Structure 1
Amino acid sequence: MDRGMPGEARRRQLTVDVRRMGSGAVVTPAGELDHHSAEKLRSPLDECVADGCYPIVIDCSALEFCDSTGLNVLLATRMDAEAAGGQVHLAGMRPIVARVFEITGAGAVFTLHGSLDDALAALPAD
């Protein structure tokens, strides 16, 4: 009986919810964002950027883990959005995810909010 890779059963599969709000979007990844799942987040973020759907608020409150591949997806989205005149905000990071941003210094290049409500309140009205 093949049980896959060690620890694979414990890994929570990434799901991504995209909710359009006015001219922007709230993207909510839930689970573990790593090299196995990064494409599940990259695709909807690329679509938001291509559609000019700004600002993009990424609600990280259900994100249980983020490795360097996941971080690179977020950084690439920020760069693409800013090149097109848009913004990317991150909200509600759990301590384990926030630690990756702290260690790498990536937190300094994003607008961070304590919660989704805080992020939405800080955005200009449409």
Structure 2
Amino acid sequence: MNEDQFRESPLLTVRAADVAGVVVIVVEGEIDVDTADEVLDALRAGFSSGGPALVADLTGVSFFGSTGISTLITAHELADEHSKDFHVVAPHRAVRRPLQVTGVADVLLLHDSVDEALSALRPVPSE
């Protein structure tokens, strides 16, 4: 797994990793009005790179409010523009609950782990 550091601060760490040809953006910390642009910049870079899909791993996100929701909606739109699949790993309540309450969870492809998201990207072998 190749990894590049985008940003590290007391509130946020964003890394990009290549996992089996899929770009995974790993976010840890707080996604708020002060940090959302850093997350979106990393997602934009991920969509611009090669590969059929992008996975946003929000497992390590401890705060996620309306700005985070807006960031994921924008990322979903970017995925459409780049004709790529966009999967979000959000196993914890801090991220999943706001997405469910607002109905955004119905639009995004949510997963409980990166492995689960990557499995969803693999074609099912025909019988």
Give the TM-score normalised by the residue count of structure 2. Answer: 0.81
1:106 counterpart residue number: 104
Query: 1:65 Cα deviation (Å)?
Result: 1.3
C-alpha change, 1:59 and 1:89, in structure 2 (3 Å) is same
Q: Which has the higher strand share?
A: 2
Q: How many residue pairs are counted as aligned between the two chains?
A: 114
Structure 2: any 5+ residue segments left out of the alignment? 1-9
Aligned equivalents of 1:61, 1:20: Cα separation in 2 = 17
1:51 lines up with 2:53 in the alignment: no
Deviation of the 1:62 alpha carbon? 0.5
Q: What is the CA RMSD across the aligned residues, in angstroms?
A: 1.6
SS at match of 2:56: strand
Show the counterpart of 2:72.
Answer: 74
Letter of the structure 2 residue corresponding to residue 25 of structure 1: V
Match of 1:34 in 2: 32
Say whether the 8 Å CA contact 1:15–1:40 is kept in structure 2.
Answer: no
Letter in 2 for 1:73: T
Question: Partner amino acid for 1:26?
Answer: V
Check conservation: 2:25, 2:46, Cα contact below 8 A: no
Structure 1 unmatched ranges of 5 or more: 1-11
Determine the structure 1 residue equivalent to 2:122: 124
1:44 alignment partner, SS class: helix
- Structure 1 consecutive aligned stretches of length 4 or more whose deviation exceeds 2 Å: 21-24, 50-54
Q: CA deviation at 1:14?
A: 1.0
Secondary structure (helix, strand or coil) at the match of 1:45 reads helix
Aligned-pair identity in percent equals 28
TM-score, structure 1 as length reference: 0.82
- Mark the structure with the bigger radius of gyration: 1
Q: Secondary structure, in 3 states, of the residue corresponding to 2:16?
A: strand
How far apart are the structure 1 equivalents of 2:50 and 2:69?
22
